[in-house]
Amino acid sequence: MIDLTLAEIAHIVGGTLMGGDASTVVSGLTDTDSRLIAPGDIFVAKPGEETDGHLFVPAAVANGAALVIVEQEVVGEGDLPLAVPQIVVRDTVVALGALAKEVVARVRALGGLRVVGITGSNGKTTTKNLVAAMCGRAGITVSPRDSFNNEVGAPLTMLKVTQDTEFLILELGASGIGHISLLTDMVHPDIAVVLMVGLAHAGEFGGVEATVTAKSELVTALPPTGIAILNADDARVMSMRSRAPGAVVTFGFSARAQVRATDVEASLAGTSFVLHVPDSEPVGVHFQVLGEHHVMNALAAAAVGRALGFSTALIVDALESVQRAEHWRMEVMGGNGVTVINDAYNASPDSMAAALKTLVLVAGPHNRTIAVLGEMAELGEFSGEEHDRIALLIVRLNIDELVVVGAGARRLHISAINEGSWDGESKFFETQDEAYDYLSGLLAVDDIVLVKSSNAANLRFLGDRIGELYA
């Protein structure tokens, strides 16, 4: 973060400064988690659904916080004044956003910062990591930690910029109309990437068309000089073309895409393909990230690179350097003859289908394929039919065994059985421990295991346990 005085911060967030010297300079805001506060940081006491950040102000101060932003004055031990200054505001989350907006605006005024915003129902974090790897080769780059993509995480990322930052990469999530607009108003992106529109979080949005409206907010936020990067293979995404104020670049597998891939071949070692970009000769890429669906994310990243003026050589070097999408995203684990693909950070119908197809694609005739699946959450009225559809896909792909974990995914197990072509190949367990016990007695050399669920189902930890068992 750039240097700001206490007086400047109070003015920016519209709050009242209590205690401290108004001319004191602070320049750090790491997290809203008091445990992650570093000496000299600002601590924002954010109310939560289960707890309240104000309760952790003393812990933040003990960890070295130089300033706290609160919604009501906090006193120290024995009702004495707090040991550090505090700024009292009406809403700490709004204050966080206001501070981020001002910091980005000041850095942008220096003329060297370019902002890339990325959204979509799936693939945001992987694409963000690829773009960050690319931009990091060209200049000082700031990008989100993990999936920091909401009204708290995105501003925290924005606040990491300094006068020297050249590229700010943002992952922009939403669970309703207006959420992305709230974030883009803070940064005014130069490049907008829309990966796909699927059923992820459709229950929260209220349907797919509402999802299209929400995701298109990133495109409409562009200035006339901005560039929209759109998935040529997704009709819903391409419908946003007419909303782009400036240039549009497309990516995908289809021949009409400006940035595209051909000759895609997948294995447990990754995915190879030939990259085609405008004004450059086709070039082979060995992409270490597993899964054809991640090639789409690589193409989106390559399109960003071209929009930023990067050479094809730099783009390919960056793509080939990334060894995994992210922890728990198509992460290859295991050993001693057993391969575990832990992809249980999140799951939508689209990403579930893609992961299952990858499982089959990378398996040889001597491999047994086992899918360990949990619930796909946040699908609302689509939940039942989408779990049915995945069950049908599993049977049609001829996956050798299905292990379903958790009550929320029971319909997947029942639907697979009802397909009638299986006889005992689907097993259901209420708990992860039960599933682990079963799998530890089942798995053998040459087995390939996919573990996939929504984040809420927590199967990523089961994937870790299985992977560590055979490491």
Structure tokens at 277: 């970009």
178, 265: one domain: yes
Tell the burial category of 211 from Cβ atoms under 10 Å away from its Cβ (0-12, 13-18, 19+): buried
Tell me the residue type at 2.
I
Q: Are residues 379 and 235 in the same domain?
A: no
In CATH, what number is assigned to the domain containing residue 294? 3.40.1190.10
Residues 6+ apart with CB under 8 A from 46: 32, 53, 92, 93, 96, 152
pLDDT given at position 388: 94
Question: Does 100 lie in the same domain as 85?
Answer: no
pLDDT at 293: 84
Give the predicted TM-score (pTM) of the model. Answer: 0.86
Q: Which two tokens stand for residue 224?
A: 């006339």
Does 369 carry a binding-site annotation? no
Q: Domain ends where: 90, 117, 149? A: 90
Same domain, residue pair 274 and 418: no
Is 213 annotated in a binding site? The answer is no
Tens digit of pLDDT per residue, the chain (471 long)? 999 999 999 999 999 999 999 999 998 887 888 888 989 999 999 987 777 889 999 999 999 999 999 999 998 877 778 899 999 999 999 999 999 999 999 999 999 999 999 999 888 888 999 999 999 999 999 999 877 888 999 999 999 999 999 999 999 988 788 999 999 999 999 999 999 987 655 555 567 788 889 999 999 999 999 999 999 999 999 999 999 999 999 999 999 999 999 999 988 888 999 999 998 999 999 998 888 888 999 999 999 999 999 999 999 999 999 877 677 778 888 888 999 999 998 888 888 998 999 999 999 999 999 999 999 987 888 889 999 999 999 999 999 999 999 999 999 999 999 876 666 789 999 999 999 999 999 999 999 999 999 888 989 999 999 999 988
Q: In whole angstroms, give the CA distance from residue 379 to residue 272.
A: 33
- Structural domain includes residue 450: yes
Q: Are residues 109 and 203 in the same domain?
A: yes
Show the domain range for 83: 4-90
Establish if 403 belongs to a structural domain: yes
Domain shared by 405 and 447, yes or no = yes
Please indicate if the annotation marks 346 as binding a ligand: no
| pLDDT at position 325 | 66
pLDDT at 206: 60
Paired strand residues for 261: 275
Instruction: Say if residue 463 carries a ligand binding annotation.
Output: no
| Domain-terminating residue out of 90, 105, 132 | 90
What SS3 state is found at 449? strand
Whether 326 maps to a domain, the answer reads no
Per the DSSP assignment, residues forming a β-bridge with 125 are: none
Q: What is the reported pLDDT for 164?
A: 96
- Count CA atoms within 13 Å of residue 75 on its CB side: 4
Last residue of a domain, one of 90, 114, 149: 90
Does residue 208 lie in a domain region? yes
The number of residues in the chain equals 471
Q: Which residue has the tokens 């319909």?
A: 411
* 121 and 216 share one domain: yes
SS3 207: coil
**Residues 83 and 139 both lie in one domain:** no
* Same domain membership, residue 266 and residue 244: yes
> CA dist 217 to 172, 280, 411, 419, Å?
10, 32, 35, 41
Side by side, which strands form the sheet with 283-287?
141-142, 167-171, 114-119, 191-194, 227-231, 247-252, 259-267, 270-276, 283-287
> Same structural domain for residues 172 and 115?
yes
Domain assignment of residue 138, yes or no: yes
Into how many domains does the chain fold?
Answer: 3
Residue 120 marked as a ligand binder: yes
Same domain, 102 and 84: no
CATH, residue 346? 3.90.190.20
**What is the reported pLDDT for 421?**
61
Residue 339 is assigned to a ligand binding site: no
- Regarding whether 82 and 63 lie in a shared domain, the answer is yes
CATH number of the domain enclosing 16: 3.40.1390.10
